Structures are given as structure tokens and as C-alpha cells.
Chains A and B, each alone.
Chain A
Amino acid sequence: MSLANVEYQFLYSLIHSGNNDIDFMSELAVVGSLSVEKQLSIYQNNINGAHQKVLAQVYPACLNILGEDYFNQLCYFYRCKYPSTRPDLNMYGEYFSIFLQKRIAIKEELSDFEYLGELAELEWYWHKSYFSDNDPLFDFEKLARISVEKYEKLSFTLSYSLSLHATEYPLIELWNANIQKLTDTQTFLMPDSKKYFCIFREKFKPVIEILNEKQHACLTLISNKASLIELNEAGLQNELMSFIENGRITGFLIDN
């Protein structure tokens, strides 16, 4: 068997544990007390363990809600469905929220956990913001030199670490309670209206900031590359200024 086939079939057998590739197994020989199945299972267990460990670190609140056994089962199915495609293990688990949402839709035992997809999304962006690049300093002098006629082509850029969220669940309360692993049964009231927040990194530490509807609209428009004129027309000048001052907005672009 060629090196390429050995590698493809080895990795296939690891991603799809339980479906050991027969051709690949025939390439192995018993040694000492290690059967060929045992040889492969050592790697399957190593990989399962490593991936579970990473997902448990990224999604502590989901883990606390689901319990270790069920969470680990989900990790296994997630790994089969979404094998890692990046060398950086810190970026593994990006699609866990989507995976959970699909799972909730088809698994009766998850029907009471319809908020889990959004909770996982919060946890992912919290994790991701920790690893994001440092932001540039906002160049006020350069902005001051831009002529008024270019304002309709002037848009702004958000902090690399910033993500925007909107939810109808008491998501932040749920997250806070579960990352602290509170064991007492707690009741969380559904909010009367949609709640808005953003996640970003303040120096080294990710933080959650509650937003009002207008602030959320402003950051949404900015993330969609709305121009300064459009932001003014939407009456969001104050929000714009405040987000520049507090570092949520870190730069600007002139669309040529």
C-alpha cells in the first residue's frame, strides 16, 4: 500500500471510529499483546480524549448542563460530523453551535434545551475573542483629513475580537450560572423582549457588554459596512462616537 493510502485510510479509521478500514487493518501486524484492533483503538481513544478535552474547555456551560457522559457522546458525534480542518487545536469546535441546533431539532431528549445552540455560540465567541489579533489604534488624525464629499464612501471597522448577539433567552444568566457550576436548581425567567449584547476582548480578557437596541443597530450597520452618511441618517451619531471612544470601533475604510 502506498504512503498516501496508508495515511488516508489511517485517518479515515480515526475519524469514523467503529468503521475500521479493512484494507488498512490488513497492513498491520500483531506485536506482543497488541492486536491490530488494539493498535488502532489506542489512537482512536487518544484522539477522542484530546477532542473532548478541547470542547470541554471551550463549552464549559454546555458541559455543565448536559453532564459529562452525554457531552462526551456529543463530542464523538461532532468529531465524526465536523473533523478538524485546522492545525490550530484552539480553533476546533467552531460548528458546535450549529451541530447542537440540528441535534435539538431531531433528538427528543434535547427538546427542553432549545437555547443550547445560542449558548454554545456565546461560548465559542467568548473563546475566539481570547485568541483574536490585537486591534490597531484608531487613527483620529487620518480621519480628520478625510473630506466631507467622501463621507458616503467612509465606513468603519470593528474590533477583531467583537461579535454581536441577540437573544430571546436569558442567555447570559444561564451562562454565568453554568460556568460557575452552580448545583442548586435555578429558575431563569424568559425576558420580555429581545436582549442584545456583544462579546469583545478588553486588553487580555473577554467581556460581555449588554447593548440597547440602538447600540446593537449601530454595530450591526457598521459590521455590514454602512457608510458614515447612512449611520447619520439612522440617527446613530452618538452611538458611533461612543463606540470609537471605547474601542469597539478600531478603524475606518474609504470604499473606492
Chain B
Amino acid sequence: MLSQTQSVDARSGSAPIAGVGLGLRSPHINEVLSDLPNIPWFELLADNHMVEGGLIAAQLEKISGHYPTTFHSVGLSLASVDSLDLNYLAKLKKLMRQHGVKWLSEHCCFTSVAGFHSHDLLPIPYTEESLRHMVQRISQVQDFLGEQILLENVSSYMNFAHTTISEVDFITAVAEQSDCLLLIDVNNVYVNHINLGTDIDDYLAKLPYERIKEVHLAGFDEREGFILDAHNNPVEEPVWELYKQLIQIIPDVPTLIEWDNDIPSLQTLMAEAKKAALIQNAMMHKVSHVAG
């Protein structure tokens, strides 16, 4: 098992994904490439890097040369009833192969339908029909890529009256039937608990931990009558508490700090990552002591 320090020492594009990484956004790319800070790995928004020329392509080449990287996508529209966009998928595959990207994660939602793109993560009702559809789509994507993808639970502000399956049962069933892996966004679990009344204890009890390959942490924004998964704040205390519960069970699963709006300095992000790493390391020691 790699600690955060070990993975930093082994920093190169070919090192494994371990410890606490950062979602790398454009305001920090130049700083990262000039200073090469000690960050174990980066997750890139695939959609922002799907160009084959210019500065963005050159930056991806350099980042993936220095750091282990993963792709986080928002444009696959996994739950959409439209045909899968094979051009988009082919571009993703090409970039992943070209730059040694370790894995691709996508969201349990749709972003487009009837050829129109919302560029937002739109939830679906959790029903048997949706389940069959998601399983079929993820299987198609995995067949195309030749590897498993990670499915992320999304934050939601919509309460579908005819939902028949709980969120945790839905993503578990999708993962098991399509044989995909999971990315659990702890902030999203908390946001849905506050906004939609999701039962957190039930959620944590039912998660298929053996399929969780990545954990996300982010901040939310307090709004009138709800909380928004805005990725514009530090991780809030109740989310840290939830993270501790989760990471107690899967201490060696890589964690990522996401911050997409009102982006602060890289040092602030690294401080958040350090906080998560301390929790992760403490849980690893706890587990090894118990095992010993």
C-alpha cells in the first residue's frame, strides 16, 4: 500500500493513483507545470482537454508526463436515451491511450437528449427501466474502451415521484450488473441527504465497498431552502465526518479534492488535500494495527 509521501516520491505519469489528488483546473495548470508541486495525482475534466492542438493539448502532454492522471467526464451522458456519442467516446479513448490516463469516471445522470446538450448533470428517476438502460449503456462504453469505468453518484435537487429504487440500491445494482466500478462523491451523498432526505446510514451500510475505486470531496453552498453542490467552498464539517466513516472501511481508496468555482490558490487546495490525507493515513494505521 502506498502512503501519500511514497507516491509523491515516485511521481511520474506511470506511478499508480494513490493518496489524495486534486482536480486540476486551468487557473493552476501553469503553476503546476512550472513548480511541479508534491501532489500524488491529478484528475482532469476530460471535456476540457478534448482538443488535438494548441496550448491545451500541449499542457495535457506535460501533465500526464509528470503526474499520474485520471479523466473525469461530463459529456458521455450515460443515462441519455439518445444513441451513445461514439465520436466523443473515440476521442476519449484516443486521449486516454495517448497520455496513459489511468481511468475514466462519469456520472449517473444524463446531460443531453434529442441532440441538445444541457452541460449540467441531470438526474433520472431510479426505476427498473432506468436500471436496464444504465447497465446497457455502461456495458457499451466499457466494451468500446476495453476497460471498466467508474460511475459517480450525483447530487440532485429533484424528487421523482415514480422512483422505485433508492439511490444506493440503484448504483449498486448498476455497478454489479454492468461490472463497473464506483466513484463515491461524499459531498453529493450529504447534499442529497439534506435536500432529498436520503438516509445516510442506509447509504453507508449498503455501498458495495469492493467496487469503490475513488472518493470525491467538495464544498457546497448554502442557499435558501437547500444546499447547492457548487464546488466553490472548502469541504464542510459534516462532509468530513461522513468521509471519515467511509474511509474507515476503505482507507486505501484514492481521494480527490474538487473545486470548480471561485477557485482559490493551489496552496488552499493542497491544504484541503493534506487534511484528507491525514484522515486517510490515520485510518490506514488504524486498520493495520487492527490487522497486526
Q: Which residues of A does B touch, CB under 8 Å?
A: 1-4, 6-8, 10-11, 14-15, 26-34, 38-40, 42-43, 46-47, 50-51, 83-90, 92, 130-135, 160-161, 201, 204-205
Contact = CB atoms under 8 A, between A and B. Distances in A.
Contact of B161 (A27, A42, A84, A86): A27
B5 interface: no
B146 interface: no
Interface of B: 47-48, 50-58, 75, 77, 79-81, 85, 88, 110-120, 122, 124-125, 127, 129-130, 133, 157-162, 195-197, 225-226, 228
A10 to B, nearest CB: 6
Contact of A3 (B52, B56, B75, B124): B124
B120 A46 contact: yes
A34 B54 contact: no
Nearest to A132: B53
Contacts of A39: 157-159
6 contacts: A14-B120, A29-B159, A32-B225, A83-B117, A131-B56, A204-B55
A47 B122 CA distance: 11
A14 B121 CA distance: 12
A7 B81 contact: yes
A31 B198 CA distance: 11
B137 to A, nearest CB: 11
A204 B54 CA distance: 5
Nearest to A134: B53
A27 B157 CA distance: 14
A83 B120 CA distance: 13
Given A43-B157, A134-B52, A31 B196 contact: yes
B159 A43 contact: no
Contact of A85 (B51, B116, B228): B116
4 closest Cβ contacts across the A-B interface? A87-B75, A134-B53, A31-B159, A204-B55
A43 B88 contact: no
Contacts of A46: 120
A149 B182 CA distance: 63
Interface centre among A40, A46, A161 (most CB of B within 10 A): A46
